[in-house]
Amino acid sequence: MRNFNEETITEAVLARFADAPSPRIKLISEALVRHLHAFAREVRPSQTEWESGIDFLTRTGQMCSPTRQEFILLSDALGVSMLVDAINHPLPMGATETTVLGPFYVDDPPEFPLGANISGGKEGKALFVEGTVKATDGTPIAGAWVDTWHADAEGYYDVQLSDVPELDMRARLRTDDQGRFWYKSIVPAYYPIPADGPVGQMLAAQGRHPYRPAHVHFMIGAPHFETLITHVFLDGDPYLDSDVVFGVKDSLIRGLGEVGPGTTPEGHEVDETASLLTYHFVLAPEKHLARYA
């Protein structure tokens, strides 16, 4: 088979996958080629434009580091991360909605006792966070692990700051026997995703801003339940309706209250005036998805 042209090249490439040992890889490869070739036929790129696209992807990879994942930013900014999230999380009624992980999660965050201050001494308005973790039938989940992380009052995560020797504004907590958790920190600000690389250049070319509304990240898990990855967004933020990564859902927005000194609605003692963020999480039961070799 040779002498391919615009009309024959796609079928020729698809034919090369006939002997793929994995049916899943065959399906993915065929779909990739069909859609990529259709994209090229639709936009009819010049050779210079195609080379610019390859250069963009090359620079995206070169920008990646242990503390920055430019390809995750690209996936997020094009809405693909939220699409994949929606495909993989058809949730039962009452379960907390999911959203993107984001590029700043750190594996095995430092573990703190309930009630600890996780801010690492960063300056900002005091924040008290409290909530519960329950099953869809309302049963409290004791011993669930709760990973939480957020930006500081200037919109930066710890891993973005070279002058921060240790991780802060992130922690792993464990729920008590009533499924409760609580901790102290500072109120996060809205912030731009890193825009000094290829993804930032793409956003500028598309006439888009790089901002995410203020939020607190949560990853919550327990045996026999689906691990939940989500945010709680702060009500009133100016970017709730134009989140650069399309992650906002109405059910995940909460207003900040005021508390202290005194007792919170959930019965925790606060020794200073602080903003109060309350959210009650509901985990979906574990499901078994078919995986392809």
Residue range 258-287, pLDDT digits in tens: 998 999 999 999 999 999 999 999 999 997
175-191 per-position pLDDT tens digit: 999 999 999 999 999 99
3-state secondary structure 80-138: HHHHHHHHHCCCCCCCCCCCCCCCCCCCCCCECCCCCECCCCCCCCEEEEEEEEEECCC
pLDDT confidence of residue 164 = 59
In degrees and rounded to multiples of 5, residue 40 shows phi and psi of -65, -40
Contact 284, 230 (CB under 8 A): no
pLDDT confidence of residue 190 = 97
Mean pLDDT of 214-237: 97
The edge-to-edge listing of strands for the beta sheet with 228-234 is 170-174, 145-150, 215-221, 228-234, 253-254
> Is the pLDDT reported for residue 288 higher than 70?
no
As a whole number of angstroms, the distance between CA 97 and CA 116 comes to 27
Cis peptide preceding 261, ω within 30 of 0:
yes
Domains of the chain, first to last: 75-283 (2.60.130.10)
- Interhelix angle 80-88/70-77, nearest 10 degrees: 80
Mean pLDDT of 228-244: 98
Contact 244, 77 (CB under 8 A): yes
Mean pLDDT of 91-102: 93
pLDDT confidence of residue 67 = 78
Contact 141, 133 (CB under 8 A): yes
* CA-based nearest residue to 90, from 292, 293, 291, 285: 285
When comparing pLDDT for 106 and 230, which is higher? 230
> Is the pLDDT reported for residue 290 higher than 70?
no
pLDDT confidence of residue 292 = 43
pLDDT confidence of residue 291 = 44
As a whole number of angstroms, the distance between CA 44 and CA 67 comes to 36
- Left, alpha or beta for 183 (phi > 0: left; psi -120 to 50: alpha)? beta
DSSP annotation of 201: H
- Left, alpha or beta for 105 (phi > 0: left; psi -120 to 50: alpha)? beta
> Is the pLDDT reported for residue 289 higher than 60?
no
pLDDT confidence of residue 201 = 98
104-162 per-position pLDDT tens digit: 898 999 999 999 999 999 999 999 999 999 999 999 999 999 999 999 999 999 988 87
pLDDT confidence of residue 129 = 98
* CA-based nearest residue to 279, from 167, 188, 191, 179: 179
Mean pLDDT of 71-99: 94
For residue 274, what are the contacts with CB-CB under 8 A and spacing of at least 6?
A: 125, 126, 127, 128, 184, 258, 259, 260
As a whole number of angstroms, the distance between CA 290 and CA 5 comes to 39
196-213 per-position pLDDT tens digit: 999 999 999 999 999 999
Handedness of CA 161, 276, 253, 227 (dihedral sign): positive
> Is the pLDDT reported for residue 89 higher than 60?
yes
Mean pLDDT of the chain: 94
On the CB side of 244, how many CA atoms lie within 13 Å of its CA? 26
